[in-house]
């Protein structure tokens, strides 16, 4: 295992929050924390088969020392082609069976709606009755972590409006259904897009969600982080997660370009650990692209592995994780 202990800089920053208008001053120390390899988990797109069969991909992920994967159980036309169609569990079955063969835990995202349901005033009842209930019932013995939607502040699918209230209402509706089917299940709240993307706006969105009563409907507070040692993560995010008094996961962190991944990983995994002390950190991603034959150039991909022009590329971070 490679460990890195670096004390680079001690700085004091002052932030003025949009809520309360009080100064938040904290001495921020860059570095100084080991990379928390034991917390590392992985996002993956199981429908992308450019890296090989689903079984071989699961085996590769396991070889990296990963024990938990985060995948989307898409509510789309593969699952339900029309309002009158039966449910097709084939793609979900493949993921569950392949993960079980390697002993990988699944965090399943329950998200999105097919074209035929978008814009419907009754979409939520269909979402619950035709999707959440049958899916959770089928996999309740295999999947114990359910994430309700993904980045609801921007991924609206013409059914959400991006507001905290709209997402909280979805949580209020879906969470009790999951718990009634499987009382042992854990609910993961959705994260906003990159929490430092818009100054303090995403922090405020998340704080509002917490204050509305998130703890009653979710077991895990979720954060997405795509940045390079942004001080707000410590100065604002640290107190926020402490006040929430919930388990905290970072379910997406990563950078584009395979040549950038190792340095980013070493610096920012340590920074996330120091700032938030989350229980888990999910790298984004093993391979990028939801399409079965989707390829991405190695300079443009988030993937540790990518195929481009039928050539396989592996980042140095991939090799580092495999050989550590």
Q: Give, for all 324 residues of the chain, the pLDDT tens digit.
A: 333 333 333 343 333 443 433 333 333 444 456 899 999 999 999 999 998 899 999 999 999 999 999 999 999 999 999 999 999 999 999 999 999 999 999 999 999 999 999 999 999 999 999 999 999 999 999 999 999 999 999 999 999 999 999 999 999 999 999 999 999 999 999 999 999 999 999 999 999 999 999 999 999 999 999 999 999 999 999 999 999 999 999 999 999 999 999 999 999 999 999 999 999 999 999 999 998 899 999 999 999 999 999 899 999 999 999 998
Reading the block at residue 14, the tokens are 């002052």
Residue with tokens 């954060």: 223
E strands of 104-196, at which residues? Answer: 105-111, 145-148, 186-188
Write down the pTM of the prediction.
Answer: 0.90
Rounded Cα–Cα distance for residues 295 and 27 (Å): 43
Domain chopping of the chain, boundaries: 37-323
Handedness of CA 271, 272, 277, 281 (dihedral sign): negative
- The size of the chain, in residues, is 324
Provide the token pair at 292. Answer: 């079965």
Instruction: Name the 3-class secondary structure at 253.
Output: strand
| Homologous superfamily of the 37-323 domain (CATH) | Glycosidases (3.20.20.80)
């Amino acid at each position: 295992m490679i460990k890195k202990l670096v004390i680079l800089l001690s700085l004091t920053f002052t932030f003025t929050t949009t809520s309360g208008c009080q100064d938040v001053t904290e001495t921020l120390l860059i570095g100084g924390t080991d990379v928390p390899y034991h917390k590392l988990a992985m996002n993956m797109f199981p429908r992308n088969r450019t890296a090989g069969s689903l079984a071989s991909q699961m085996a590769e992920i396991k070889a990296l020392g990963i024990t938990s994967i985060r995948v989307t159980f898409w509510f789309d036309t593969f699952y339900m082609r029309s309002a009158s169609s039966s449910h097709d569990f084939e793609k979900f079955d493949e993921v569950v069976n392949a993960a079980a063969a390697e002993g990988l835990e699944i965090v399943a995202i329950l998200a999105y709606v097919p074209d035929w349901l978008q814009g419907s005033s009754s979409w939520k009842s269909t979402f619950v009755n035709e999707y959440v209930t049958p899916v959770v019932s089928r996999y309740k013995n295999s999947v114990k972590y359910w994430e309700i939607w993904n980045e609801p502040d921007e991924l609206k699918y013409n059914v959400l409006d991006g507001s905290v209230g709209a997402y909280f209402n979805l949580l209020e509706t879906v969470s009790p259904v999951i718990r009634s089917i499987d009382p042992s299940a854990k609910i993961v709240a959705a994260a906003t897009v990159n929490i430092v993307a818009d100054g303090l706006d995403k922090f405020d969105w998340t704080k509002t969600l917490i204050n509305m009563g998130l703890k009653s409907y979710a077991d895990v507070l979720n954060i997405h982080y795509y940045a390079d040692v942004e001080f707000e993560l410590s100065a604002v995010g640290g107190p926020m997660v402490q006040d929430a008094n919930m388990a905290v996961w970072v379910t997406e962190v990563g950078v584009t370009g395979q040549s950038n991944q190792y340095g980013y990983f070493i610096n920012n995994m340590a920074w996330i650990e120091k700032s938030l002390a989350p229980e888990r950190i999910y790298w984004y991603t093993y391979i990028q692209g939801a399409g079965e034959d989707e390829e991405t150039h190695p300079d443009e991909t988030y993937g540790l592995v990518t195929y481009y022009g039928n050539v396989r590329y592996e980042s140095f971070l991939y090799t580092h994780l495999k050989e550590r």
